[in-house]
Amino acid sequence: MAEETELLLIPAPGAPAEFLATVVPMETGESTDASSSTVQLPFEIQLDNYTRETWSLLQQRNDNNIPWEKKALTTADARSAKKLHGFLKYLKERKKSSSAKLRLEGEDGRQSVGCFLIPYDQPDTMMESNHRSYSKDPDNAKIQFVGKFLRDRSILANALAQKQASKQQQQQARKSLAIKQQQHQQQH
Task: Please give the distance of CA 32 from its chain centroid, rounded to a whole number.
Answer: 16
Which of 13-17, 97-101, 136-140, 158-162 is predicted with the least confidence, judged by mean pLDDT? 158-162
Backbone angles phi, psi at 125, to 5 degrees: -65, -35
pLDDT tens across 74-113, in order?
999 888 998 999 999 999 999 999 999 887 776 677 777 8
Beta-ladder partners of 147:
71
Of 60 and 9, the one with more pLDDT: 9
Percent of the chain residues topping a pLDDT of 90: 34
d(CA 182, CA 131): 59
Q: Which of 59-63, 85-89, 182-186 has the highest mean pLDDT?
A: 85-89
Close Cβ partners of 69 (under 8 Å, ≥ 6 residues apart): 36, 37, 38, 39, 148, 149, 150, 151
Q: How far is CA 31 from CA 42, 71, 102, 144, in A?
A: 20, 9, 23, 10
For the ranges 100-109, 117-126, 157-166, the one whose mean pLDDT is highest: 117-126
pLDDT (0 to 100) of residue 61: 64
Q: How many residues does the chain have?
A: 188
CA 16 to chain centre: 22
**Distance between CA 105 and CA 114 in Å, rounded?**
10
pLDDT at site 31: 43
- Give the confidence band of 1 by pLDDT, cuts at 50, 70, 90: very low
Nearest to 46 by CA among 17, 88, 86: 17
